[in-house]
Amino acid sequence: MPKSFKLSLVVKGILISALFALILSLLFSLILTFTRIPESELSLRIIYGISVFFGAALTSYQSGTKGLYYGLAVGVGFILFLLLVSAILISSSPAWLGIGEKTVISLVWSAIGGVIGAILKR
């Protein structure tokens, strides 16, 4: 009998992604503080991609099936979570190009993470 899609796993994956993003951002800020490495947009995109990849991979690994669905659900949920947080914390209008870039990064890396997580479970 196939397993049904569990929303609680998706929420858990979004929270895991947010936790990974926070930890990686803190580590990167420490590296920037104690070295002369310049801050770049590429490094922030890498942190974002790694975070959503691991959140999606862990979620689909726990489900065991439907890796692509779980991965994309985590990616979309993480984008919506970031939009909500940025709307609350930032008073200026959003940069739509940046949102588009983050959406593409999120969907690609969460889909890859979801598929890999489901493959590793088998």
User: How confident is the model over 97-116, as pLDDT tens digits?
Assistant: 888 999 999 999 999 999 99
How far apart (Å, rounded) are the C-alpha atoms in residues 110 and 75? 5
How far apart (Å, rounded) are the C-alpha atoms in residues 77 and 14? 6
pLDDT tens column, 24-76: 999 999 999 999 988 888 888 999 999 999 999 999 999 888 889 999 999 99
Residue, of 107 and 3, whose pLDDT is higher = 107
Residue 118 token pair: 């489901």
φ, ψ at 93 (rounded to 5°): -70, 150
Contact 67, 119 (CB under 8 A): yes
Residue, of 2 and 97, whose pLDDT is higher = 97
